[in-house]
Amino acid sequence: MQAILVEDEAPLRLATTQTLELGGFTVHAYASAEQAQGALDAAFDGVIVSDVRLPGRSGLDLLAQVVALDAELPMIMVTGHGDVAMAVGAMRAGAYDFIEKPFGAERLMDAVRRAQERRTLVLENRRLKTAWALHPDTPQLVGRSDAIERLKVLVRNIAPAGVDILIHGQTGTGKEVVARLIHAASARKGNFVAINCGALPESVFESEMFGHEAGAFTGAHKRRIGKLEYANGGTLFLDEIESMPMALQVKLLRVLQERQLERLGGNEAIAVNFRIIAASKADLLELSKEGRFREDLYYRIGVATIDLPRLNERRDDIALLMAHFTQDAAQRYGRAAPQWSSEQMRQWQAAEWPGNVRELRNFAERLVLGIVATAAPASVAAPLAGAALSLPQQLDAYERELISRKLDAVDGNVATAADQLGVPRKTLYDKLKKYQLAPGRKM
C-alpha cells in the first residue's frame, strides 16, 4: 500500500508519515504540490493526502490535476480550522474526503484505509473489464489474496501441460470457473463439455456419456453423439464425479486408457482425445478405501490435483468479490450498484459463508435487488419494507431468494431441489431460466 503525502510543515509532515508507515503504508512525502506532481500517475495504486494551503500551487490546484489524470484516484484534503467551506468545495471538485486539523491518528487512518479499499476495487474492476473485453467467454479469478495468487500461478503452469486434473473444493468455491480457465489457457481448440454427475439419473447416464446408435433401445430413433465424443479435441469437465455410478466408472476408465469408445448399440471403435478435469467436494481417496469409488480411476484422473480455498480462507478478497458481483448484477438487472460502509464490509469479512463464493454472489444480487438487509448475510431475508419494487417484483424477488438458497442447500441438484420445494422439475427449470440462476455453474 502506498500513499503520497503533501505537507509543507516539516513537523506535521514527519508525524503524518510515521502514522501512515505504522499503518502499513509506504509513504512518498513532499513539501509542495510542485514536488508531488511528478509522482502522479494514473496507474498509482495508493492514496493521496494533501494539505489545502500550500506555498505556490495549492492543494486544490493539485486536486484539479489529479481529477484530470484519474477522477477515481482518491485524494484526501487536510484543512485548517475554519476551512470547512473550502473543504466542501474540494469534495464537490472530486476529493475523496477531508480531515480538519488537528486530527488524531485514528481519524487519519480510517479515511486512508477507506480510500485504499476504494482504489483497490477500482483498479481490480478495471483489470477485470479489460480481461473480459479481450476474452468475453473466459471466467475470471477475482481476488488478490495469497491463496488466489498461488492458484493463478498454478493454473498458468498446469494448463498447457495437457494432464488430467482433479479439482477438490467445497460447494461454491469455484471448481467450474477454474476448469474453464484451464481449458481457455490450454492449447486445446475443442469444446469445453461440462457434466454434473450428481444431476444425471443413472438410467440415462451411459447414453449421455457415450451416445447411442439408432435402435439401441426403445425410443432411440436416431443416432446421438455422447458427451465424451462431443468433447473430442477439447476438455471434459466431470463435476461431482463422486456421484458417478460404479459401472460407469469402469467404462470411463477404459476410455481413458484406450482413448476410444463405442456408442450404445454400436460396434465401431471411435478414437477420442480429450482432457479430463474432474471435480469433487468429497475425499475420493477415502471413498475408494470404503469401496465407494474406484481407486484406479482416482489415480488415473488425479495426475495433477488442485485444492480450492474456502472463502473464509481468503477473506481479503470479499471486498473485491462484492464489488465485482454487485456491478455485474446491477448491469444485468438495470439497477444502480449499491454502496456500503467500511463497517458493513468488516461485518461481511468477519461473517461465515458456508456457501462460499456462490453464497456471496447470491447475497450481492439480493443487495442489488433490494431484498436483503445489508448487515445480515447469513439470514433469509424477506423483501424490504419500502423497497422500490412493485408487489409482483417483490414476490418474484422473494421466490428467487428461496430457490437460490434451496439450490445452495442441495449443492445445485435440480431434481432434489424440485422435490423439496414441491414443484415439478420442468417448473423449476423454467424459474431458473426466468431468474437467471445456474445450478450447474460452480462459483
Give the model's confidence band at 132: pLDDT under 50 very low, under 70 low, under 90 confident, else very high: low
CA distance 33 to 62: 6
Strand partners, 139: none
Q: What per-residue confidence (pLDDT) applies to 25? A: 92
Residues of the chain above pLDDT 90, percent: 33
Residue found under cell 482425445: 273
Q: What per-residue confidence (pLDDT) applies to 382? A: 39
Q: What per-residue confidence (pLDDT) applies to 354? A: 87
Give the model's confidence band at 28: pLDDT under 50 very low, under 70 low, under 90 confident, else very high: very high
CA distance 8 to 358: 49
Give the model's confidence band at 443: pLDDT under 50 very low, under 70 low, under 90 confident, else very high: very low
What would the mean pLDDT of 269-286 be, rounded to a whole number? 93
CA distance 42 to 123: 10
CA distance 26 to 237: 44
Q: Which of 185 and 126 is assigned the larger pLDDT?
A: 185
CA distance 122 to 403: 32
Q: Which of 381 and 275 is assigned the larger pLDDT?
A: 275
Question: Does the pLDDT of residue 381 top 60, yes or no?
Answer: no
Give the model's confidence band at 300: pLDDT under 50 very low, under 70 low, under 90 confident, else very high: very high
Extract the runs of DSSP E, i.e. beta strands, from 22-96: 26-30, 47-51, 75-79
pLDDT in tens, 68-79: 988 889 999 888
Give the model's confidence band at 200: pLDDT under 50 very low, under 70 low, under 90 confident, else very high: confident
Give the model's confidence band at 320: pLDDT under 50 very low, under 70 low, under 90 confident, else very high: confident
Residue found under cell 481413458: 256
Q: Kindly give the pairing relationship between strand 192-196 and strand 235-239.
A: parallel
Q: What per-residue confidence (pLDDT) applies to 168? A: 96
pLDDT in tens, 407-432: 777 777 788 888 888 888 778 887 88
Question: Does the pLDDT of residue 385 top 70, yes or no?
Answer: no
Min mean pLDDT across 110-119, 238-247, 396-405, 433-442 is at 433-442
Q: Kindly give the pairing relationship between strand 97-100 and strand 260-261.
A: unpaired
Q: What per-residue confidence (pLDDT) applies to 137? A: 57
Question: Other CB atoms closer than 10 Å to residue 116's CB: what's the count?
Answer: 20
Question: Does the pLDDT of residue 441 top 50, yes or no?
Answer: no
Residues of the chain above pLDDT 70, percent: 89
Give the model's confidence band at 375: pLDDT under 50 very low, under 70 low, under 90 confident, else very high: very low
Question: Does the pLDDT of residue 321 top 50, yes or no?
Answer: yes
Are 151 and 177 a contacting pair, CB within 8 Å?
A: no
Question: Does the pLDDT of residue 350 top 60, yes or no?
Answer: yes
Helices and strands in the chain: count of H runs, count of E runs:
18, 14
- Note the residue count of the chain: 443
Question: Does the pLDDT of residue 351 top 60, yes or no?
Answer: yes
Give the contacts of 427 (CB within 8 A, at least 6 positions apart). 418
pTM of the model: 0.62
What would the mean pLDDT of 355-368 be, rounded to a whole number? 89
CA distance 96 to 108: 13
Sign of the Cα pseudo-torsion (34, 36, 41, 47, in order):
negative
Give the model's confidence band at 249: pLDDT under 50 very low, under 70 low, under 90 confident, else very high: very high
Question: Does the pLDDT of residue 439 top 70, yes or no?
Answer: no
Question: Does the pLDDT of residue 210 top 70, yes or no?
Answer: yes
Question: Other CB atoms closer than 10 Å to residue 271's CB: what's the count?
Answer: 10
Question: Does the pLDDT of residue 436 top 60, yes or no?
Answer: yes
Q: What per-residue confidence (pLDDT) applies to 379? A: 39
Question: Does the pLDDT of residue 387 top 70, yes or no?
Answer: no
What would the mean pLDDT of 304-327 be, rounded to a whole number? 90
Look up residue 322 and give its three cell numbers.
462484492
Q: What per-residue confidence (pLDDT) applies to 118? A: 82
Rounded to the nearest integer, the mean pLDDT of the chain is: 84
Question: Does the pLDDT of residue 10 top 80, yes or no?
Answer: yes
Q: What per-residue confidence (pLDDT) applies to 201? A: 83
